[in-house]
A and B are shown apart, each in its own frame.
Chain A
Amino acid sequence: MYVAVKGGETAIRNAHRLLADRRRGDRTLPSVTIEQIVEQLGLAVDRVMAEASLYDRPLAALAVRQSRGDLIEAIFLLRAYRTTLPRFGTSVPIDTAKMLVERRVSATYKDLPGGQLLGPTFDYTHRLLDPSLIADTPVEEPERREATGDAVMRVADILAHEGLIESDGEFPEDHQAGDITREPMEFPMPRDLRLQSLARGDEGFLLALGYSTQRGYGRTHPFVGEIRIGEVEVEIEVPELGFSVSLGRIQVTECQMVNQFKGSAKAPPQFTRGYGLIFGQSERKAMSMSLVDRALRAEEFGEDITAPAQDEEFVISHSDNVQATGFVEHLKLPHYVDFQAELALVRKMRADIEAARNGDNPMQEAAE
């Protein structure tokens, strides 16, 4: 008998109730707190802040909890909140040369002013599961050096003194930084918008693209000029005051990739660069971003565009994981109206062939 597909409303209500139940899990166990997530799952929180383009650790932690640890879902939650916030100004560009550095490494120099500073890194740990973590044994206090307060010179500036690397590039005086969340995207895009898109792009997607350039799909001969992680001041200009005031500090990860040089008969050769800047601590993402940024500059440098990572429209259109997951997953929505149309057509075409076989068309039969 025909059973009508009714009851969508009840079904949704019950599904949400079950979801809430599964999110909470065993009620005899304590609920994980926002503070615990911020403190102990900090890199997950950082990824959510970075790809949601909203620097707010407690809210990102709330999103992680609400999404049961599904980070793309958490990014989505935070973005849907961010989009409703009014934008009341643009900050002065942050100055990463003045960063309070917690980690800073360069692969292009053995030693350099400011030193190599490993900081809290997984590098050089042996990836052996640590059973002592199960028992929650006390953890020693770290050793810390007194902060000198001196600015740590950027590697790019060392090369720039000799003119060995291209400059940061200049925008005209009246250039207003674009905002991909407020203006429709257009291709080709200026680099500021491209970098914005990459900064909120999916970590895994950018990682794979960056990796592909290393394996020959758009090689760029990269060196890690510098990676630095630390806190920078965010300032905003207040027109009534005539000077900028500090809004506070944020943690960022910056990667400056030094890439194959470029020169001509007239201009002497210079290294080129790729740039990555990410909220929080996310070295993998910052490095991937800088590889992809450099690959996307192929046209600017007159390089042949042969690889996916060099194709701006391909990369930018598919880097956003909230868009991607939504569209992929929408395939589970009902499509039966369109499927009905296809079904009828296939039946009709099969019937035509069947009719031809049964002798309605002797010519065709003879041929078969």
Chain B
Amino acid sequence: MTDLASYNFAYLDEQTKRMIRRAILKAIAIPGYQVPFASREMPMPYGWGTGGVQVTASIIGPDDILKVIDQGADDTTNAVSIRAFFEKVANVAVTTHTKEATIIQTRHRIPEQKLGEGQVLVYQVPIPEPLRFLEPRETETRKMHALEEYGLMHVKLYEDIARNGRISTTYAYPVKVAGRYVMDPSPTPKFDNPKMHMSDALQLFGAGREKRIYAVPPYTDVVSLDFEDHPFEIQKFEQPCALCGARGVYLDEVVLDDKGGRMFVCSDTDHCEERREEGHTGEMPSQEAAE
């Protein structure tokens, strides 16, 4: 029992990796289509990124440089834990810099910096089925995809407008990929949806518990669903990042006190740090008190 803990490179055995790579290849060949795969039990809980971890484990090689983010940040606990996992089982180089990374595993965000050719963005996906909350049955939703029967989704968006005067989906906003499959972009804020369109990078999506992999190959149309009189629009923030002064980026709201004081800072920590290194500052640049 003492010599139990010897694991293959990147934890998964080679047969499993081959099976997952086949699913990935199929997913790339049919953009936006959810490919069932024999998801494995991973040493972290379901819902904590097992799908993304399996995809990363299957594509990572000794020369790769890995970045892991959660909520846009490299130092959130789950990102730290997953990064440490790959350092341990694959002994790969890791980074927090978006442009240095060859593989970026993410939960809930797409980095602000434009991704380039050769980079792979691996999304952790909780519920891969965009139609799931309209129809709970997998047998039904697969049929709907096969028949390209997406009327229900448009009815849902229309009902939003009828009830609230606007589409009230703010994250996991459904997209249509390559003019065919409606796809869940994972629970990224809709702010990030436009970054998926015609991206230079390969985008892979892994849902471990639901056992699905899907993909958006580079240079593929990704269109957010909308109506002519209610076009898709992304969130806009009134103020820039309080630390680096960036505009047109996604911001986190940080509560400062119990008297309603708050500040807004970049969700993408790497982007924010780089800007500050370049000399950009916002209205509350003090970092000393933070450490």
Chain A residues close to B by CB (< 8 Å): 1-9, 11-12, 58-59, 62, 76, 79-84, 86, 181-188, 313, 317, 322-323, 325-330, 333-338, 340-345, 349, 352
Size class of the contact patch on chain B: 35 or more
- Chain B binding site: helix, strand, loop or mixed by DSSP? loop
Residues of A within 8 A of B239 (CB): none
Contact between chains at A337 and B126 (CB < 8 Å): no
Q: Is B244 an interface residue (CB 8 A)?
A: no
Cβ of B36 and Cβ of A186 under 8 Å apart? yes
Say how far B39's CB is from chain A's closest CB, in angstroms. 7
| Contact among B109, B172, B290 for A3, CB-based, below 8 A | B290
- A79 touching B211, Cβ below 8 Å: no
Query: In the docked arrangement, what's the CA distance between A1 and B284, Å?
Result: 9
Given contacts A80-B41, A326-B209, contact A12 B77 (CB under 8 A): yes
- Which residues of A have CB within 8 Å of B107? 333
> How far is the CB of B191 from the nearest CB of chain A, in Å?
7
Which residues of the partner chain A approach B291 to less than 8 Å between Cβ atoms?
4, 6
Known: A1-B286, A4-B290. A9 touches B80 (CB 8 A): yes
What chain B residues lie within 8 Å of A8 (beta carbons)?
A: 75-77, 79-80
User: B172 — nearest CB in chain A belongs to which residue?
Assistant: A338
Taking a contact as CB atoms under 8 Å apart, the answer to whether B46 and A327 are in contact is yes
B45 within 8 Å of A by Cβ?
A: yes
Cβ contacts under 8 Å, A76 to chain B: 41, 45
Q: Which residue of A lies closest to B243 (CB)?
A: A2
Q: Is there a chain A Cβ closer than 8 Å to B98's Cβ?
A: no
A188 neighbours in B (Cβ, 8 Å): 139
Bound Cα distance from A342 to B48, whole angstroms: 22
B37 near A313: Cβ-Cβ < 8 Å: no
CB distance from B242 to the nearest CB of A (A): 8
Closest to B7 in A: A84
User: Does any Cβ of A come within 8 Å of B267's Cβ?
Assistant: yes
Q: How distant is the Cα of A1 from the Cα of B138 in the complex, in angstroms?
A: 48
B13 within 8 A of A: yes
Mark the stretch among B175-183, B223-231, B245-253 that contacts chain A: B245-253
Let me know if B211 and A313 touch, CB within 8 A. Answer: no
**Are the CB atoms of A334 and B189 closer together than 8 Å?**
no
Docked CA distance A86–B17 (Å): 13
Q: Is B1 an interface residue (CB 8 A)?
A: yes
Name the CB-closest residue of B to A186.
B36
Contact of A80 among B43, B81, B137 (CB under 8 A): B43
B190 CB to nearest A CB, Å: 7
Q: Knowing A187-B138, A330-B48, A338-B108, say if A12 contacts B256 (CB, 8 Å).
A: no
Known contacts A4-B290, A188-B139, A322-B46, A333 near B78 by CB under 8 Å = yes
Is the beta-carbon distance between A338 and B81 smaller than 8 angstroms? no
Q: Is the CB of A338 within 8 A of B7?
A: no
B147 lies within 8 A of chain A by Cβ: no
State the 5 A-B residue pairs at the shortest beta-carbon distance, nearest first.
Answer: A330-B47, A326-B46, A326-B45, A341-B170, A184-B36
Chain A residues with CB under 8 Å of B287's CB are: 4
Q: 1/0 per position for B56-90, CB-CB distance to A under 8 A? A: 00000000000000111101111111001000000
A2: chain B residues within 8 A (beta carbon)? 242, 254, 256, 263, 265, 284, 286, 289-290
Closest-by-CB residue of B relative to A78 is B41
Is B151 an interface position by the 8 A CB rule? no
Is the pair A340, B1 in contact by a Cβ cutoff of 8 Å?
no
